[in-house]
Amino acid sequence: MLTNEYWDWMSEQLKQPERAIGGEPCIICGNPIPAKATWQYRDRHVCSSKCNNTLKRRWKRSIEKGEADGYHPSEEYLEKIRREASREPRVFRTEETENGFCLDCGRFPIIGDVIERFGQHTKYMSLSDLPDCGSALAEMIGVQNKPPGQAIGVMHIESGTWTCLLTDELGVPRRVLPSGIVVEGEFVSYLPGLSGSFTVRTSENEVLDIYCNLESIRCVDDQNEPYDWIAISFGPYKMNDTFWTQRFAQRSTRR
């Protein structure tokens, strides 16, 4: 869950002293910045999404090298994390609307939550509750080089297929893809959003083709502060786009 506080801080780090009006050279490739480029690109003096992503990668690399200061969350952010982590588990459903569908979400998933996506259910649980978790779990955690305390079990209820969602030190899911999934006790390399569907057999002996998806939904809280819902879910369709809630879309349009 990344909040407005983080995005505002990042924008301040990346923007140039003055907003480009159009025609200035891109700081990455040198091409002219379009006058109709987004305000964010003009603030950063980049000409395209490709150059914007390059700028962000270079900036993050400088933080990793200790050449730039990293983000330090405020007490307000930490309090939001504590409140979310202490809530009761709930079910997040997929709701049909006049314009298609709506993906119910919160700030971030916790142990006990269930995510329903188009009739398929994903449950979040402690690693010790995962079925057949011995060597497969050790391989999965080992590949990611993360301690078991920074991971949550994520299981497709209908078939028992499972994987892990890695978290940060506060227990908040990160944009780190799991290294694979476990289908009928066997470890299978898999990248959500990139790999195709796979076949499973349910407890009722039904054969299904499903995907393991990395959900990314841009949301707005009750204080009109944006944040990202990051979660893994199993479902019959591939989900590799970032979704916007209606409130987030309205906020972005006004800005």
pLDDT digits (tens, 9 = 90+) for 25-39: 999 999 999 999 999
Mean pLDDT is lowest, of 74-88, 107-121, 143-157, for 143-157
User: Looking at residue 255, what is its pLDDT?
Assistant: 54
Q: Which residue has the higher pLDDT, 190 or 206?
A: 206
Report the alpha-carbon distance of residue 105 to residue 220 in Å, rounded: 11
pLDDT average, residue stretch 1-16: 77
List residues bridging with 207 in a β-sheet: 201
pLDDT digits (tens, 9 = 90+) for 59-112: 989 988 888 888 777 888 888 888 888 999 999 999 887 777 789 999 999 999
Backbone dihedral angles phi then psi of residue 84, each to the nearest 5 degrees: -65, -40
Residues in the chain: 255
CB 114 within 8 A of CB 91: yes
Contact 105, 215 (CB under 8 A): yes
- Write down the pLDDT at residue 73: 77
R_g of the chain, CA atoms, integer Å: 20
Report angle CA 247, 110, 125 to the nearest 5 degrees: 140
Residue 63: per-residue pLDDT: 87
Kindly report, residue by residue over 179-188, the tens digit of the pLDDT: 688 888 888 8
> Do 119 and 236 contact (CB within 8 A), yes or no?
yes
The model carries a pTM of 0.72
* pLDDT at residue 56 in the model: 93
Q: What is the pLDDT of residue 46?
A: 97
DSSP per-residue codes, 68-92: S------HHHHHHHHHHHTSPP-EE
Closest CA to 76 of 11, 171, 4, 7: 4
3-state secondary structure of 41: helix
Structure letter (DSSP) for residue 243:
E
If pLDDT is split at 50, 70 and 90, which confidence band does 149 have?
low
Query: 165, 231 in Cβ contact below 8 A?
Result: yes
Question: CA-CA distance, 156 to 120, in Å (whole number)?
Answer: 8
**How many whole angstroms separate alpha carbon 207 and alpha carbon 255?**
47
- Residue with more model confidence, 135 or 108: 108
For residue 30, how many C-alpha atoms fall within 13 Å in the half-sphere facing its CB?
Answer: 0
Identify the residue with better confidence: 95 or 247: 95
The confidence band for 118, taking pLDDT boundaries of 50, 70 and 90, is very high
Beta bridge mates, 228: 218
Confidence class of residue 226 from pLDDT cuts 50, 70 and 90? confident
